[in-house]
Amino acid sequence: MKKKLLVPITFLTVAAVTLIGLLTKEVSHTVTINKNIKDVWTYASDSTKANEWSVYFNHISPLPGVNDGKVGSLRRCFRRSNETGPRWDEEVVELEPKKYRQIRTFNLKNFNADILKLAQFKVHQRYEFVDENTTKLTFASSLMGPWRLDLILALLPSMKESKRIFKLNLENIKAAIEQGDDYKRPHPYEPKNQFDMI
């Protein structure tokens, strides 16, 4: 009898550890931008530029309090121009100018799974100096918690899509910074996405 019980318990334990391992692993993408690190930092730090490069959200609105982009600053990201549909809040929690920014993403609303409202994520922006005219920019994200099985199961299908969005957004950022006034956006805003409720 004990052996029969051990098999399902062992399987469930391994499955749970595997799921947690998958979600603690960062989803990330890196792009090389042919521009100096100061220009890359300045562009990517400006919340008002998000509408130019994001394929997923329409705009970011800084919230009252600490100046936008500084540690402790808050902003709200809106999926649609009329501010309906998915939205979430972000807080800058760590900052090393021209090198690193960590953002806590929380307060998710109106996503395709109601359980997502509980999720919090660490979002990383990493800036790597290559030479005077070249910078590597990485966007990465990982789950902070809570560590609930229903939340983990709801998030698993989204990992591949999150990586795709990072890739397209970074390619847009690269084009915007390199092309300047002649910017031709390679990837348009996508009005439909698997994360949407409808």
Domain CATH for 135 = 3.30.530.20
> Does some domain include residue 117?
yes
- Cβ atoms within 10 A of the Cβ of 171, count? 17
* pLDDT tens-place string over residues 127-161: 999 999 999 999 999 999 998 888 888 888 888 89
> Does some domain include residue 62?
yes
In the chain, the number of structural domains is: 1
> Does some domain include residue 188?
no
* pLDDT tens-place string over residues 69-125: 889 999 999 999 999 999 999 999 999 999 999 999 999 999 988 888 999 999 999
| Tokens representing residue 103 in the block | 């953002």
| 3-state secondary structure (DSSP) of residue 58 | coil
> Does some domain include residue 13?
yes
CB 121 within 8 A of CB 93: no
> Does some domain include residue 36?
yes
> Does some domain include residue 198?
no
| pLDDT over threshold 80, residue 64 | yes
Domain span including residue 14 = 2-182
pLDDT value of residue 21: 54
Using CA atoms, how far apart are residues 32 and 173, in angstroms rounded to an integer?
10
Q: Cis (ω within 30 of 0) for the bond into 146?
A: yes
For 85, residues 6+ apart whose C-beta sits below 8 A from its C-beta are: 78, 79, 110, 196, 197
pTM of the model: 0.85
> Does some domain include residue 101?
yes
| Tokens representing residue 120 in the block | 């919090």
> Does some domain include residue 197?
no
**For the chain, what percent of residues have pLDDT higher than 70?**
87
